């Protein structure tokens, strides 16, 4: 049997390979027959942003990288970590980096510039907040509890599906024409957190409410839950600063990269409900 081999891309390193986007990028590349090395703190060998002595082993023999930073590219230490990682990659056989970044975050944009000035081929995927925060991320327990209590006001955000992010990243890693592009990617609709609660209520057939929490009440709740200070500070920054309306506009990044529109939140919600990522209303027996 003849098997069509994909264009040669060499070995792709996925940093954050068990994460929401990394997992999907790795699956797509593997399904297409590309060679992938996925790393995180739980991989063997492990990759840890706090242990640079292990980075060279991860980069050994790698020709391109899908780079995610955890917990967030907006953290102060990200800049020095990204610089050190990119400098190391440039001294090895790496030819291309595709960086996942966040919209409206000056510190993330500083990290983008490090990649852009690395001398390597680069593509930036600068994303809005993810749909999957509600199904796989921090907001999932709130949807299960039926109360989305966050200091999000009525600011609309164009939530993006991580399947679209993965498609854009894979295109940048496997096709010509994406080098030197900053793809600012959003979903097709601006939605407030109250809108999200309504959408999920409709799909799940049970009430999901939105409570606009005062900022201090949110910080107190995080402290009560024992969330460590750096993470609480990051969440406060994301809601108080990044969600101040600066990102309340749609962009054409998915269309530009893939030649198709991005997935709507409603389609994400229906598909996720069908996959039973949330519990539905109890079925009333006839
Ligand atoms: N969520 C959003 O709405 C949003 C929007 C825009 C941009 N972003 C950006 O997306 C990035 C996160 O990407 P993601 O959502 O795909 O990942 P994710 O779902 O948050 O998962 C994090 C990944 O990083 C690994 N990881 C955690 N701590 C690590 C460390 N110290 N060293 C090495 N690996 C570590 C995790 O695996 P282990 O636990 O095994 O280490 C996992 O693979 C962040 O930079 C964030 O700024 C997020």
pLDDT digit string, tens, across residues 235-279: 999 999 999 999 999 999 999 999 999 999 999 999 999 999 999
Whether the CB-CB separation of 39 and 14 falls below 8 Å is answered with yes
What are the structure tokens assigned to 90, written together?
């440039």
- In the numeric block, which tokens belong to residue 42? 């739980």
Cβ contact 97:86 at 8 Å: yes
Do residues 12 and 32 lie in contact, with contact meaning Cβ atoms separated by under 8 Å?
A: no
pTM of the model: 0.95
Instruction: pLDDT tens for the chain, 286 residues: list them.
Output: 333 344 567 999 999 999 999 999 999 999 999 999 999 999 998 999 999 999 999 999 999 999 999 999 999 899 999 999 999 999 998 999 999 999 999 999 999 999 999 999 999 999 999 999 999 999 999 999 999 999 999 999 999 999 999 999 999 999 999 999 999 999 999 999 999 999 999 999 999 999 999 999 999 999 999 999 988 999 999 999 999 999 999 999 999 999 999 999 999 999 999 999 999 876 555 4
CA distances from 136 to 64, 86, 101, 259, 278 (A): 27, 29, 19, 27, 10
How far apart are alpha carbons 152 and 215 in whole angstroms? 9
Of the candidates 262, 143, 136, which has an alpha carbon nearest to the alpha carbon of residue 209? 143
* 101, 160 Cβ separation under 8 angstroms: no
Q: What is the pLDDT of residue 205?
A: 95
Alpha-carbon distance of 140 to 133, in angstroms, equals 7
CA angle 39, 45, 46 (to 5 degrees): 55
Residue 2 has a pLDDT of: 33
Residue 72 CA to ligand 1 center (angstroms) comes to 7
Residue 122 dihedral angles phi and psi, to the nearest 5°:
-145, 150
Minimal CA–CA distance to 191: which of 248, 259, 276, 113?
248
Separation of CA 40 and ligand 1 centre (Å)? 9
Nearest CA to ligand 1 atom 20: 19
For 221-236, write each residue's pLDDT tens digit.
Answer: 999 999 999 889 999 9
- Ligand 1 pocket test: pick from 15, 17, 40, 243 the residue with the most ligand atoms within 8 Å of its Cβ: 40
Q: In the prediction, which pLDDT does 182 show?
A: 98
Cα 141 to ligand 1 centre (Å): 18
> From the alpha carbon of 130, which atom of ligand 1 is closest?
3
Q: How many residues are given for the chain?
A: 286
Residue nearest atom 37 of ligand 1, based on CA coordinates: 40
Query: Which residues fall within 8 angstroms of residue 97, CB to CB, at 6 or more apart?
Result: 64, 65, 67, 86, 89, 115, 118, 120, 121, 122, 123
Question: C-alpha 88: how far from its chain's center?
Answer: 24
Sequence-ordered strand ranges (E) for the chain = 11-15, 35-39, 62-67, 96-102, 121-127, 147-150, 181-185, 209-212
Q: What is the pLDDT of residue 283?
A: 52
| Angstrom distance (rounded) from CA 4 to CA 203 | 41
Give the C-alpha separation, 175 to 179, whole Å: 9
Give the residues surrounding ligand 1 with Cβ less than 6 Å away. Answer: 16-22, 40-42, 47-50, 68-70, 72-73, 100, 102, 127, 129-130, 133, 137
Q: Residue 200: which of 116, 261, 135 has the closest Cα?
A: 135
Domains for the chain: give ranges and CATH numbers: 11-127+161-185+249-262 (3.40.50.720)
């Amino acid at each position: 049997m003849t098997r069509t081999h994909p264009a040669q891309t060499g070995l792709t390193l996925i940093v954050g390979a068990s994460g929401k986007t990394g997992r999907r990028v790795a699956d797509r590349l593997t399904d297409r027959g590309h060679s992938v090395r996925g790393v995180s703190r739980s991989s063997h060998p492990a990759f840890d942003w706090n242990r640079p002595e292990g980075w060279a082993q991860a980069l050994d023999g790698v020709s391109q990288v899908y780079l995610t930073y955890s917990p967030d590219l907006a953290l102060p230490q990200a800049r020095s970590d990204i610089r050190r990682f990119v400098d190391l990659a440039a001294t090895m056989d790496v030819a291309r980096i595709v960086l996942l970044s966040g919209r409206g975050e000056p510190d993330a944009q500083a990290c983008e510039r490090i990649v852009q000035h690395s001398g390597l081929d680069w593509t930036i995927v600068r994303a809005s907040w993810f749909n999957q925060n509600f199904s796989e991320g921090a907001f999932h327990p709130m949807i299960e509890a039926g109360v989305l209590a966050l200091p999000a006001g009525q600011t609309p955000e164009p939530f993006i599906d991580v399947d679209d992010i993965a498609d854009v990243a894979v295109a940048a890693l496997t096709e010509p024409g994406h080098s030197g592009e900053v793809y600012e990617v959003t979903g097709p609709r601006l939605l407030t957190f109250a809108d999200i609660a309504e959408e999920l209520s409709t799909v799940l057939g049970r009430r999901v409410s939105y409570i606009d929490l005062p900022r201090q009440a949110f910080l107190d709740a995080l402290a009560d839950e024992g969330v460590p200070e750096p993470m609480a500070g990051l969440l406060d920054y994301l809601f108080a600063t990044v969600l101040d309306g600066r990102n309340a506009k749609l962009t054409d990044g998915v269309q530009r990269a893939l030649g198709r529109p991005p997935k709507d939140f409603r389609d994400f919600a229906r598909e996720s409900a069908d996959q039973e990522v949330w519990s539905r209303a109890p079925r009333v027996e006839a």
